[in-house]
Structure 1
Amino acid sequence: MQLQTGSISSSDALDLLIAPLSPEEFFRDYYERKYFHSTQKHPGMENLLSIDRIDEIIADSELPPTAISMAKSGRSIDPAEYTFPDGIVDRGAVLDNFRDGSTIILPQLHFADGKLYEFCLSLEQAFGSRTQTNIYMTPPGEHGFGVHFDDHDVFVLQVAGAKDWEIYGDRETLPFRGEGFNKDRDDTGKLRAQFVLEEGQCLYVPRGTAHRALTHGDEPSLHITVGILTQTWADFMLEAVAEASLRIPEMRHSLPRDLFFNRGNGPEYKAMFERLAREIADKASFEATLTAFSGNFVRQQGGRVRGGLKALCKPIGPDDRFRVRDHILYSFEDSTEDGQDGKQIVLLGASMPLSDELAAQLQERIAAGSVAKSDFKVSDTEEMEDVFGSLVAYGLLVRD
């Protein structure tokens, strides 16, 4: 697949990462199970990122201290070596450290780069998870980190140069978020595979699989690491307990004052625990938990409002047609605004109450992917005008 500079579909983005596998093959045989090295090369990957773009970012972009870090030979570099005393990034020192063998790391660059951000958004529906990027620019013959595993699944896109990869053993269980690698505690297992990740190729490494990468050859390496920030069944069940607890009055009571000190009352308190656990199991609601999870997933997606300002600089005519922006998440949910039952549309940063009349038509038009004000037949035109304008402002609708 030749990458283009415009919006990329979810299927094309996933295909880039796993080709020649089908999605069914990848999720059945590899996802959360074992690494996959795609030897297929993708010309045009530099449309996502390039060494020239990294040079431009370091030279001309705003660089707060959190926008950059450095590492060399398995250890992090003290920020004092590439920042001024006031914390501002010393751009010359960054390049000088790179010259001396240090890897330049640009964490979360998708928040500052539109192409990477669009690419991340295109993957979120494919995985049902938040995604992020970290960028690694490594000099020839060097490596940033030693053998380690990550607490989230990663895809590596080799943009320029090549890397020698080493894949080690897996943990017996998948790590939770925050359960990171500790070299004094965790066994990396035996070396299982060695290969060269060449320019234009991709690699999938499940969380918990130990690995190391060293620059191959005489050219520097630039790669994009896409992190898949999954939510687990443990997260879902914890939310289910929290949701059910709202309907169990005793869950609001404080713990007994002597719970930690009076072992004689242990059987009584254990019985209380077991009774509450049974009541939680009885009252936990899959549907209510799913609604809470999906709503939070929508609300936590990053905003995308490019084109909105231009569209709002003049009045929106009744026949001006708008399309639903690619990869933007939204949901229609029940609302209890002002104590009144009704519907609302939920976006990042906004929950807009809707009359039943407008909600039904809006849901139908947005599902169709194209909408104009003249499509609506409602009695409250003021409500429709206000909601339509807000959907443009918050990025759901973009002018055709």
Structure 2
Amino acid sequence: MSLEQPAQDALALLLGPLTPEQFFAEFYERKFYRNASKSDQAAALLSLDRVDEILSDSELPASSISMAKSGSSIPETEFTFPNGVVDRGSVLDNFRDGCTLILPQMHLADGTLYNFCLALERQFGARTQTNVYLTPPGETGFGVHYDDHDVFVIQISGAKEWEIYGDRDGLPFKGESFRKDHDDTGELKETFVLNPGECLYVPRGTAHRAPNHGDEPSLHITVGILVQTWAEFMLEAVAEASLRVPEMRHSLPRDMFFEGGEVRARHAQTFRDLVDELAAKASFDATLAAFSGNFVSGQGPRLRGALLSLAQGVGPDDRLIVRDHILFNFEPVSAGDGDVEQEIVLSGGRIPMSGALAEQLRTKIAAGSMCKSEFSISDADELNDVIDSLVAYGLLLRADAPVR
């Protein structure tokens, strides 16, 4: 798969014959969906050989590996040295003994998976991540449980027998993890085998279990969709609006927790009054701007090829392409002399520029490519600085760079 996987292609890889419109209308946050059409491209996202390479050749802090067996996590002390460094031999010995090997946040160590996650983020308007699971034959890592975030499962090699149980009453909030001795999983609804190249969507709150199937180790990727909820949006709206409601900054009354009757009624009325004022002053646009800015600036960068482009230098007629999965926003900023300038917000940085340059840059980003010589800007130093910075932060890439 190309490192520059278009977002729509990444989602299509997961959905198969189902269109994105059908998925979001019928399945998203509602019910599981099994894509039984085999995709060689999906199976090629990872390999057992790549996992072996990372395990043997990469620097591995303890947080980069976990293990589980028969529904229980294995203590880190079982596969780390006393100083906390991963004992690779113990990891493999535990795997030989039936433990599932888990590589959390694998996309941070593998460029293909990282780009695949970035390509999905615009489709879902949410952060994404990958965890990789390698389960020995005849074993299962976890018992019946549900997750607090939606997941796509991509079977890479071997097979898993999936068991789908009931749904939690209401979607769980982030952090509302499954409690084995407390939460009801419901009755077993469906079982099926997921084979290499097949994908599965499981919404948060849907209980499931997935033991290994067959005589080979099972390797699969779980792509987590880390959504933000309306509850989080409303909390931000209250925080933003409270800046314009001075009474919100007053301390709670000293007798609120101890008095009833008329005192309690008076505090209840103050509460209702503040709710009404917040409702009147809360701004959807201001809250959206805060959420959008945090989402864009918090996206991980895609910098493969940036160093090569900068090392070669970007001349006036060198063609630059726009990486299609990088999130960005143009936002107005007030200059010291009262003029309104613009800045482009993207992962890790904010790059200021004149309004004239911003207007032309918007157009050329929309077109998908540009050369410095195509701009009509009198300040050559500003143009060079902004364009080179956009290469450094990963939005632009030389068209002739040996990376895609």
Q: 1: distance between equivalents of 2:233 and 2:100?
A: 37
CA contact 1:5–1:48 (8 Å) conserved in 2: no
> Residue by residue, what CA displacement relative to the aligned partner does 1:223-271 show, whole Å, maximum 9, x if unpaired?
0000011111111111111111111121122222222223352111111
Which runs of structure 2 are paired with 1:324-343 in the superposition (5 Å)?
324-336=322-334, 338=336, 340=338, 341-343=340-342
Give the match for residue 304 of structure 2.
306
> Residue by residue, what CA displacement relative to the aligned partner does 1:49-70 show, whole Å, maximum 9, x if unpaired?
0011111111111111100000
* Structure 1: unaligned runs, 5 residues or longer: none
The Cα RMSD (Å) is 1.3
Q: 2: distance between equivalents of 1:244 and 1:78?
A: 46
- CA 27–159 in structure 1, closer or farther in 2 if over 3 Å, else same: same
Which runs of structure 2 are paired with 1:277-288 in the superposition (5 Å)?
277-288=275-286
- Residue 348 (structure 1) shift: 1.2
Give the match for residue 386 of structure 1.
385
**TM-score, length of structure 1 as denominator length:** 0.96
- CA 52–315 in structure 1, closer or farther in 2 if over 3 Å, else same: closer
> Residue by residue, what CA displacement relative to the aligned partner does 1:257-294 show, whole Å, maximum 9, x if unpaired?
22222335211111111111111111111111111111
Q: 2: distance between equivalents of 1:28 and 1:89?
A: 44
Aligned equivalent of 2:151, options 145, 151, 154: 154
Q: Which SS does the other structure have where 1:98 is aligned?
A: helix
Q: Which SS does the other structure have where 2:191 is aligned?
A: strand
Aligned equivalent of 1:110, options 107, 110, 122: 107
Q: 1: distance between equivalents of 2:335 and 2:136?
A: 56
Q: Which SS does the other structure have where 1:357 is aligned?
A: helix
> Residue by residue, what CA displacement relative to the aligned partner does 1:122-152 show, whole Å, maximum 9, x if unpaired?
1111111111000000000000000000000
Q: 2: distance between equivalents of 1:54 and 1:394?
A: 29
Aligned equivalent of 1:53, options 23, 42, 50: 50
Give the match for residue 359 of structure 2.
360
CA contact 1:15–1:22 (8 Å) conserved in 2: yes
Q: 1: distance between equivalents of 2:292 and 2:308?
A: 31
**TM-score, length of structure 2 as denominator length:** 0.95
1:92 aligns with 2:89: yes
Give the match for residue 191 of structure 1.
188
Q: 2: distance between equivalents of 1:321 and 1:244?
A: 45
CA contact 1:5–1:47 (8 Å) conserved in 2: no
> Residue by residue, what CA displacement relative to the aligned partner does 1:81-130 show, whole Å, maximum 9, x if unpaired?
10001010000110000000000000001011000001111111111111
Q: 2: distance between equivalents of 1:161 and 1:150?
A: 23
Write the letter of the residue equivalent to 1:398.
L
Matched residues, number: 397
Q: 1: distance between equivalents of 2:243 and 2:251?
A: 15
Q: 2: distance between equivalents of 1:337 and 1:82?
A: 56
CA contact 1:170–1:188 (8 Å) conserved in 2: yes
Q: Which SS does the other structure have where 1:214 is aligned?
A: coil
Q: Which SS does the other structure have where 1:159 is aligned?
A: strand
- CA 137–339 in structure 1, closer or farther in 2 if over 3 Å, else same: farther
Q: 1: distance between equivalents of 2:335 and 2:268?
A: 40
Which runs of structure 2 are paired with 1:166-245 in the superposition (5 Å)?
166-245=163-242
Give the match for residue 273 of structure 1.
271
* Structure 2: unaligned runs, 5 residues or longer: 400-404
Q: Which SS does the other structure have where 2:80 is aligned?
A: coil
Q: 2: distance between equivalents of 1:36 and 1:316?
A: 46
- Residue 338 (structure 1) shift: 5.0
Aligned equivalent of 2:13, options 9, 16, 19: 16
State the percentage of identical aligned residues.
Answer: 63
**Higher alpha-carbon deviation: 384-393 or 148-157:** 384-393
**Higher alpha-carbon deviation: 343-352 or 218-227:** 343-352
- CA 243–337 in structure 1, closer or farther in 2 if over 3 Å, else same: farther
Give the match for residue 402 of structure 2.
none
CA contact 1:163–1:214 (8 Å) conserved in 2: yes
**Higher alpha-carbon deviation: 230-239 or 337-346:** 337-346
Give the match for residue 71 of structure 2.
74
Q: 2: distance between equivalents of 1:148 and 1:82?
A: 25
